[in-house]
C-alpha cells in the first residue's frame, strides 16, 4: 500500500492475505479463498475514520485466517477508496462484486455513501454492512433486505444525549450548525425532537456544504452562532469538518459563551482537535475503548489490548465496527453453512450476540443493530495526558439500553409510510 503509514501498518501485521485496490497490493493465499470488500474513505474529509476501519479489518482478518478462515476458506479483503463520495462508492461496489468476486461489502464513513453503495450491493445480490453511517434513513426509509447497520443511528445518539441535556439546559436557546446531507439532516431533526427545540425561529441554525466544505464556511456559521446569543451550540459535523469547526470555535471564544455539543464523536476526531479544544464538549458514541473496562467486558478488553499492542494506540468506534462486522459475517455464514446471500441474511435477522460489549441484536424488521449507547464528555488536558497513549478522552456520563434508544416498530413504520415505502424490507 502507498505511503509510509500503510507500509508500517502492513509491516506491523506481518503477512496478511489482503488484496487491495490495485490487485497487486496484498498477498495471494493458497487453497480456497473467499473475498470480502471494504468500501472506505482512504482520502477526503473522513480519511482518519477510514484508516481506523482498515486497521480493525486487518486485525480481524489476521485472527480469522489464523483460526481457519470462514467455512474452511481463507479470507481476502479487497479495499477501494470512496473519498466520501457516493458515486465512487457505487462504482467501487460494482467493481468489487463483478471484477473481484467479493461475497460481502462493508464500510463507509458517510451515510450518503453507505446508502447509495448498499443499493448497488442489493442490485448485485450481496449483503452490505454499514460501519459509520448514522443517518436514520440507512435502516429507515432507505432500508432494504441487503443493508445491515452495525453502529447506532442519529435517533439513538440524540436520545441518549437528550437525557443529559434536558437536565442541564431545559428551556435554553440552541443553535445548530449542520452538514448539508442525509446524516446531518436526520441528526439535527432527531436532536431537535428530543431536546424540544423544533421551533426554528427560537432555535435557529445554518447548513454547511458537504463534502466540499471550506474553513470560510465554518467561520461564517460560527459567527452566526456567536451573534445568536444561544446557550448551546450543536455542531452536527463529523471528521475533519468537526475538527476544523471545533478549533475555530475555541479561537473565536465560543466555548466561554455557550456549551458545545457534537452529537457523534470518535476518538480520532477528538485526538486531531486536541484536548484543550475538546475539553468539556459533550457527545455520543456507540462504543469507546474504555467501555469494556468500565463495565468489565472481557472480549472487549482483549480487543483493546491486542489492537494497542499492534498499533500503539487505542481503537476507535470505527475500528471496532469494522472488526465486529468481519466476525459477524463469519458467524452468519457458518451458521448458514453457506456464503449464499439469502441464507446469510436469514442467519443474521433476529440474531443476538456479545462481542466487544454487552448483548447486541440484528433486528429482523429493519436490520438495525440494537445496542447500548453512551453519552460522553471530553476530559481535561490533565486527565488525557495521564494515559499511556494520551488518549483517555471520554468520560461516560450516561447510557441508554438499545431497546430504549432505538425507534420502535411503529415509529419506523410511520417514517416509511410518510416516504411511501413498503412496511417490510424489500
Query: Does 14 score more than 80 pLDDT?
Result: no
Q: pLDDT band at 22, cuts 50/70/90?
A: very low
Query: Does 28 score more than 50 pLDDT?
Result: no
C-alpha 315/C-alpha 151 separation (Å) is: 15
Pick the CATH number of 155-286+373-405 from 3.40.50.300, 3.40.50.2300, 3.30.70.1400, 3.40.50.970: 3.40.50.2300
- Give the mean model confidence (pLDDT) for residues 308-329: 98
Instruction: Kindly report the pTM of this predicted structure.
Output: 0.91
DSSP structural state of residue 136? G
More confidently predicted of 142 and 11? 142
C-alpha 187/C-alpha 183 separation (Å) is: 6
**Tens-place pLDDT, residues 267-278:** 999 999 999 999
Mean residue pLDDT across the chain: 93
Residue 18: the pLDDT is 39
Query: Does 107 score more than 90 pLDDT?
Result: yes
Give the start-to-end residue ranges of the domains of the chain: 4-153+295-370, 155-286+373-405
Topology classification of domain 4-153+295-370: Rossmann fold (3.40.50)
Query: Does 19 score more than 90 pLDDT?
Result: no
Residue 215: the pLDDT is 97
C-alpha 358/C-alpha 345 separation (Å) is: 23
Residue 8: the pLDDT is 37
Q: Are 16 and 62 in contact (CB under 8 A)?
A: yes
Angle formed by the axes of helices 341-348 and 317-336, nearest 10°: 110
Residue 5: the pLDDT is 38
- Give the mean model confidence (pLDDT) for residues 167-182: 96
The phi and psi torsions of 282 (rounded to 5 degrees) equal -110, 145
DSSP structural state of residue 267? H
The Cβ of residue 139 has, within 10 Å, a number of other Cβ atoms equal to 27
- Give the mean model confidence (pLDDT) for residues 32-44: 96
Give the N- to C-terminal CA distance of the chain in Å, as an integer.
Answer: 38
Query: Does 233 score more than 70 pLDDT?
Result: yes
155-286+373-405 has the same fold as 4-153+295-370: yes
Amino acid at each position: 500500500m502507498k505511503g509510509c503509514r500503510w507500509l508500517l501498518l502492513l509491516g506491523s501485521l506481518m503477512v496478511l492475505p489482503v488484496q487491495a485496490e490495485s490487485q497487486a497490493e496484498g498477498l495471494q493465499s493458497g487453497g480456497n479463498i473467499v473475498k470480502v470488500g471494504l468500501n472506505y474513505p482512504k482520502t477526503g474529509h473522513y480519511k482518519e475514520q477510514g484508516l481506523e476501519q482498515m486497521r480493525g479489518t486487518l486485525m480481524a482478518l489476521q485472527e480469522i485466517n489464523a483460526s481457519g478462515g470462514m467455512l474452511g476458506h481463507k479470507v481476502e479483503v479487497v479495499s477501494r477508496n470512496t473519498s466520501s463520495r457516493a458515486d465512487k462508492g457505487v462504482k467501487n461496489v460494482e467493481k468489487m462484486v463483478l471484477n473481484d468476486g467479493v461475497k460481502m461489502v462493508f464500510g463507509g464513513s458517510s451515510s450518503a455513501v453507505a446508502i447509495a453503495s448498499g443499493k448497488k450491493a442489493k442490485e448485485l445480490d450481496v449483503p452490505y454492512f454499514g460501519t459509520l453511517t448514522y443517518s436514520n434513513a440507512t435502516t429507515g426509509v432507505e432500508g432494504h433486505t441487503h443493508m445491515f447497520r452495525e453502529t447506532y443511528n442519529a435517533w439513538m445518539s440524540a436520545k441518549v444525549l437528550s437525557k443529559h441535556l434536558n437536565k442541564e439546559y431545559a428551556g435554553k436557546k440552541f443553535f445548530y450548525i449542520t452538514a448539508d446531507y442525509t446524516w446531518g439532516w436526520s441528526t439535527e431533526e432527531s436532536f431537535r425532537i428530543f431536546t424540544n427545540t423544533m421551533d426554528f425561529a427560537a432555535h435557529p441554525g445554518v447548513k454547511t456544504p458537504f463534502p466540499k466544505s471550506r474553513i470560510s464556511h465554518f467561520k461564517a456559521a460560527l459567527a452566526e452562532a456567536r451573534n445568536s446569543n444561544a446557550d448551546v451550540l450543536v455542531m452536527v459535523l463529523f471528521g475533519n469538518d468537526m475538527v476544523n469547526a471545533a478549533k475555530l470555535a475555541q479561537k473565536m471564544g465560543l466555548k466561554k459563551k455557550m456549551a458545545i455539543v457534537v452529537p457523534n464523536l470518535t476518538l480520532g476526531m477528538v485526538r486531531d482537535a486536541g484536548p484543550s479544544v475538546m475539553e468539556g464538549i459533550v457527545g455520543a458514541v456507540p462504543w469507546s475503548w474504555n467501555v469494556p473496562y468500565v463495565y468489565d467486558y472481557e472480549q472487549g478488553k482483549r480487543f483493546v489490548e491486542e489492537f494497542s499492542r499492534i498499533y500503539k494506540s487505542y481503537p476507535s468506534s470505527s475500528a471496532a465496527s469494522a472488526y465486529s462486522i468481519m466476525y459477524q459475517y463469519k458467524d452468519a455464514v457458518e451458521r448458514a453453512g453457506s456464503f449464499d446471500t439469502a441464507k446469510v441474511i436469514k442467519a443474521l435477522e433476529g440474531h443476538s450476540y456479545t462481542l466487544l460489549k454487552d448483548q447486541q441484536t440484528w433486528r429482523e424488521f429493519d436490520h438495525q443493530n440494537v445496542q447500548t449507547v453512551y453519552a460522553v464528555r471530553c476530559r481535561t488536558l490533565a486527565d488525557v495526558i495521564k494515559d499511556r497513549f494520551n488518549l483517555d478522552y471520554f468520560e461516560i456520563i450516561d447510557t441508554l439500553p438499545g431497546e430504549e434508544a432505538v425507534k420502535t416498530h411503529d415509529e419506523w413504520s410511520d417514517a416509511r409510510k410518510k416516504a411511501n415505502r413498503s412496511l417490510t424490507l424489500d
